[in-house]
Amino acid sequence: MALAKPSDEDFLLSEFSVKRLNDVFEYLFLAGLPVPPRPLHHQLVLQREIVITEKMDMHLVWTSGRIFLKPIPRYLLSTTFWNSHLKCEDSCDCGKKTNKTSEAQCAVKSCRSIALGFLRTYVALLSYESDFTIARDKGLLPTQGEQPTWAEWRKFVKEVMAPTMYSGIHRRFHYGELRLGRLNAIYLLVKFGYYLNTWPNYASFLGDQLGWLAATTIYIAVVLTAMQVGLATDQLQGSGAFMAASYGFTVFAIMGPLIAGFLILVALAVLVTINWKFQRVKSAERFRLIERTGGGAKRSAAGVQQEASAAEQEAGTTEQDEPPGHAAGAAALPRAQPSLSKPPNVCSIIIVDMSTSPHVSHARLPATPQPPSRKRARPNLIGRPLSVDRLLETLDKESLRSVLASLCSRNADVKDQVVHLSPRPSIQNTLQVLRQYYDKLMAAFPLDPNPRSDYCYDRVRPQWRALLDALADFTPHFLPPNESQSSVSLEYLDGVTEIIHDLPEWGTPQYNVAKQNAYEEISGAWTVVIKEAGKRGGGIQLQYNGWEEKLRVHNERSGGLMKDAYEELMAALGWLHAGASASTAQQQPHRQDIRQQLFSGTFGMDQHHQQQPMMRTGMW
């Protein structure tokens, strides 16, 4: 392990290696098209997640829901780097004919062609300013130091683009996006391996293989059922060909899944064996490399312990003359490395190279006692959990809601206490929650030109059901007798009815039944509240706030599904209207009696027995 630099030739060869694609280049037409890659915003339209990779041969490889992209290294945007490290020397034999059909190509020119092709893929990926913003947010552009702007990127593209742009780039970049599944198939047939192993463990391998076996078994079962039905018919009972086919397929149905399952187990055993051997070989190579690079600086465990003992003794001799805390601080400081006659350890090289500060001298610093006022005695600090008050301060709304839901589900007494101690929900908060359910419903709609299609309904069905369930749960809370104020109930029903109006309509009539049922239920709720308000003050409060006009508009927008509620409101307001109908005029004496009873305070009494009223009306 060592720190690599862009100036190292081995690093450049590893950084710009596309050997795996070179090995199967003649089959790449099966994995992709020789066209530039599509821009980044189009990749998001295709619902592909941008996954960062540092391997050049994985750049522009895509699979379902993902596309792998290599970020642009900062040194590739430096002209100095191109002139000093990606330019062939004068004495280079690059380009000379080795035979009639091929030319020699040095490593520098190969890296240069790959780097040019890599940058020109980004010319296509960042075609718009929105693509440039996406690349910067996803970390595809250099993030340290001064970041490039869109104007600077346009200038850079002009320098990279050339009329003969494909003459100097590597042939891999003649192709754009490559499909991972087809690359795996090519490698399985040509190299007897996989381009990228998509199975993280053996269980996933078995799951994928048994999936297609289960599908095949289901198809076999369907065919056998059809053959059994055919054998029961008179036309096919006497057919020798059908009888022979049924016999052969029955034997295949018995033996086929068994043979396929056995082959899957054999493939699993082969895979386990290959992985075991590969692990043994790589482990042996790794340990040999460790011994070869670190053998010159190896020290025995006894030597390390002796050095540690000597350091402790030295710290003990100086501890008496130093103030408290100084010895611990000096032990934490790095000491100067002694000169070694043997080659240093690789890890030591890394640590020394990464250090940006000079070595600390062995000279002991003079004792500088701290003022007593700046020090205070502290108890021994040990780990302990937070108190409930501090823990609640860190919880957000969703976390607190989850904790309360868990407590209520485990203890019924806690549920009653929460209901008793919680403040009564207001209309504004309740309607805001319902609007959030509605916003989630609308945000779940896919990019489909027909929002009324069955496909859209299937995609938003969970959010659709969640909104309807929330309406059904919240509405009874604002109805009498749980809600005593009719004005509160009417205001809530007005807001909820607006939400029901905004619910989408579907092309399939049966999907609209839920919305129609919602209209009928909310109409019944309006009717209950209007009847209760009519008993109080003769329905005088229904005259205010324009409830007649609001309910009339609701009835029209619902297509007449709220007709019962509107008629109930008109019946309650009939005696208060100046322009009453003829039928209302006939009942005028009865209405006058009601008004007289209201003013005298005898409304609701039994006129024959003069019993006390069962309830108060209005302010009387």
Residue 258 lies in a domain: yes
Contacts with 468 (C-beta within 8 Å, 6 or more apart), sequence order: 514, 518
**In the numeric block, which tokens belong to residue 146?**
């001064």
Answer yes or no: do 110 and 65 share one domain: yes
Angle, helices 513-534/563-573, rounded to nearest 10 degrees:
10
- What integer pLDDT is reported at residue 106 of this predicted model? 75
Give the alpha-carbon dihedral of 291, 294, 300, 304, to 10 degrees.
-150
| Measured distance CA(572)–CA(529) in Å, rounded | 11
- Residue 44 belongs to some domain of the structure: yes
Check whether residue 228 and residue 119 sit in a common domain.
Answer: no
- For residue 617, give the nearest of 609, 607, 604, 606 by alpha carbon: 604
> Which pLDDT score is estimated for 318?
41
Q: Do residues 142 and 251 share a domain? A: no
Question: What CA–CA distance (Å, rounded) separates 616 from 535?
Answer: 9
- Say if 242 falls within a structural domain: yes
> Do residues 37 and 124 lie in contact, with contact meaning Cβ atoms separated by under 8 Å?
yes
Side-chain half-sphere of 512: how many Cα atoms within 13 Å?
Answer: 11
Tens-place pLDDT, residues 352-395: 333 333 333 334 444 445 555 555 555 566 777 878 887 888 88
pLDDT of residue 349: 32
Residue at 592 is within a domain: no
Taking the CA atoms of 490, 491, 496 and 497 in sequence, report the sign of the dihedral they define: positive
In whole angstroms, what is the distance from residue 113 CA to residue 470 CA?
61
- Regions in the chain scoring below 70 on pLDDT: 1-8, 89-105, 162-166, 200, 294-381, 537-541, 543-544, 574-620
- Report the C-alpha gap between 14 and 56 in whole angstroms: 9
Instruction: Please indicate, yes or no, whether residues 231 and 97 belong to a single structural domain of this protein.
Output: no
The residue from 290, 317, 346 where one domain ends is: 290
Query: Crossing angle for the helix pair 563-573 and 547-557, nearest 10 degrees?
Result: 160
**In the prediction, which pLDDT does 585 show?**
46
Angle among Cα 494, 496, 501 to the nearest 5 degrees reads 95
Question: Is the domain of 452 the same as that of 479?
Answer: yes
Which residue, 466, 470, 484, 477, is CA-closest to 419?
Answer: 477
92 exposure class (CB count in 10 Å sphere: 0-12, 13-18, 19+): middle
Q: Residue 511: give its domain's CATH number.
A: 1.20.58.1590
What whole-number distance in Å separates Cα of residue 620 and Cα of residue 252?
90
147 assigned to some structural domain: yes
Q: Give the C-alpha separation, 264 to 270, whole Å.
A: 10
Q: Could you tell me if residue 297 is inside a domain?
A: no
Are residues 37 and 176 in contact, defined by beta-carbon separation less than 8 angstroms?
yes
**Final residue in a domain of this structure, among 258, 290, 322:** 290
| Enclosing domain of residue 265 | 202-290
In a domain, 541, yes or no: yes
218 and 149 within one domain: no
Same domain, 106 and 220: no
Domain end marker among 255, 290, 325: 290
Question: Would you say residue 586 lies in a domain?
Answer: no
Integer CA distances (angstroms), 426 to 432, 478, 488, 530, 541, in order: 10, 10, 9, 20, 21
HSE-CB at 249 with a 13 A cutoff on CA atoms is 17
Q: In this predicted structure, what is the pLDDT of residue 281? A: 86
If asked whether residues 408 and 554 sit together in one domain, one would say: yes
Q: How far apart are CA 19 and CA 583, in angstroms?
A: 95
One domain for residues 177 and 212:
no
Which tokens is 297 given? 């600086």
- Give Cα separations from 25 to 20, 150, 168, 176 (angstroms): 9, 35, 17, 13
Same domain, 225 and 247: yes
29 and 136 inside one domain: yes
What one-character DSSP code corresponds to residue 612? P
How many angstroms separate the CA atoms of 157 and 137, rounded? 20
Asked if 465 and 435 touch (Cβ cutoff 8 Å), the reply is: no
Q: Cα angle at 476 between 473 and 479, to 5 degrees?
A: 155
Verify that 32 and 181 share a domain, yes or no.
yes
Q: How many domains does the chain have?
A: 3
Which pLDDT score, from 0 to 100, does residue 92 have?
A: 66
Residue 43: predicted pLDDT: 94
* Cα within 13 Å of Cα(213), Cβ side: 17
Q: Give the model's pLDDT for residue 398.
A: 82
- Which residues does 614 contact at the CB level (< 8 Å), separation at least 6? 604
> Nearest CA to 228 among 245, 212, 216, 211?
245
Tokens of 178: 């490559």
